[in-house]
Chains A and B, each alone.
Chain A
Amino acid sequence: MTVAVNVGILDTEVLARVNGAPLTAFPDDLYIPPEALAVYLGAFEGPLDLLLYLIRKHHLDVLDIPMARLTAQYMEYVNLMRKSQLELAAEYLLMAALLIEIKSRMLLPRPAAIDDDEADLDPRATLVRRLLEYEQMKLAAQQIDALPRLGRDFLTAHSWREQAVRLLPQVGSNDLRDAWLGLVARAGTRRHHQVTQQVLSVREAMGQILNTLQGDLFMEFTCLFEAELGVSHVVVKFLAMLELAREHRVEITQNMAFAPIYVRLAWVDVSVS
């Protein structure tokens, strides 16, 4: 007989194929020899689960576990596991050691009681408590699994709404007008304009100064400048003034510091010029 077990079962209902025929359910009275059980060992959630299975399967009394029988059966499975799934065995081996320890302590005569509570304690009590606590959680897990669950048994209901909606800024016609007006206003200040260099002649300025000085004998220095014509005019006039002074064409006098500066034509030897 060939038995192929479908390991990756998720959707298919076929549990195994016996001689090629699909097996969709375990027969109710299926006797599972330990050798065949090797393939199911992965289904146990640890040693407590396996022990519970053995106890319930053989209708053993949890409060009075026949330790020898249970330990023997347990060891059968563990030995199988050691052959096939060695990495699983550690926890199971620990439990095997515990079972054997309990069994041996039950064989030994009880030590004289120091503490009454301790003396009355059955060596199996802790194991029984753990088994029952585990079974309690195991049943609870099944109940939770049976509760209706979002995504599996029902879905939340929504009306369709654009989920990717981004909040966009609101724009009115007034905003548009203000933006346009702002643009126009800025255009005035930022308009292109050509910068042309004004050609100012120092010679010409010198002539102007001499002309101005022609009538009056003395003129106040500041009166020779026309500030409203701009910085370049003032600078050129000043350079012209310096030039005239260098050529001794004008005389510049100041009586004391910060006093008004006066300018007049220098005495010119007519005969020479």
Chain B
Amino acid sequence: MNISELKNILEVMLFAHGEPLTISEMRAALTGDLSAELIYRALNELRADWENKGLALVVVADGWRFQTRAEYQTYLQRLSPERPPKYSRAVMETLAVIAYKQPVTRGDIEEIRGVTVNTQIIKTLEQREWIKTVGHREVPGRPALYVTTPQFLSDLNLRALAELPPLAELGQLVAPNPYTLDLELSSDAAE
């Protein structure tokens, strides 16, 4: 099998499978006991082939997948009238605390945000399969410990938690900064 044939096969698998594929999954479906390095090389060539197209081959936490380029999203939105719902600030802040401080309990989230965590927020994030329970902290009440899932990273186009935007240094926040009036009424209506 030459490399261009291999690229064709990989392309077909990635388009038709419907889920991100890891190299080992693709390797298991291929014949001829190809090395992971060879497949990796073919995938990178394939990615380069698609460089200037509307679709892009990317690698995320769940594996390799083809996806549309963000700059063309407006056209897709016009095709389907249903707009994706926005997450409220409460949801996003809860998600941020879980993402950066995991594993955390509800109490930890409440301590940082200064308000009680609405059960609906946790449910919203669990239904999106962005967070999950990994156990319980061995303190009275045994509160559930939440972490983010690989799907959370994949949906944000990331491979690992380390790729999350770095947190602002606490020292930087001390300096008085121009504060924009971000009342964001519209974003809160979606909660």
Contacts and interface: CB of A to CB of B under 8 A. Distances in A.
A189 interface: no
Contact of A149 (B18, B96, B156, B188): B156
B141 interface: no
A150 B70 contact: no
A91 B170 CA distance: 25
Given A42-B188, A45-B90, A157 B170 contact: no
Interface residues of B, number: 56
B92 A142 contact: yes
Contact of A140 (B157, B168, B183): B168
Contact of B167 (A7, A40, A140): A140
A148 B156 contact: yes
Contact of B115 (A30, A43, A46, A150): A46
Interface string B34-49: 0000000000000000
Nearest to B20: A156
Given A153-B73, A154-B73, A43 B84 contact: no
B97 interface: yes
Contact of A154 (B16, B70, B100, B165): B70
B165 A10 contact: no
B66 A156 contact: yes
Contacts of B83: 11
Given A91-B114, A159-B16, 17 more contacts: A9-B186, A10-B189, A43-B183, A45-B115, A47-B114, A48-B113, A56-B177, A56-B179, A62-B173, A63-B174, A140-B164, A141-B92, A148-B157, A150-B157, A156-B20, A156-B68, A159-B12
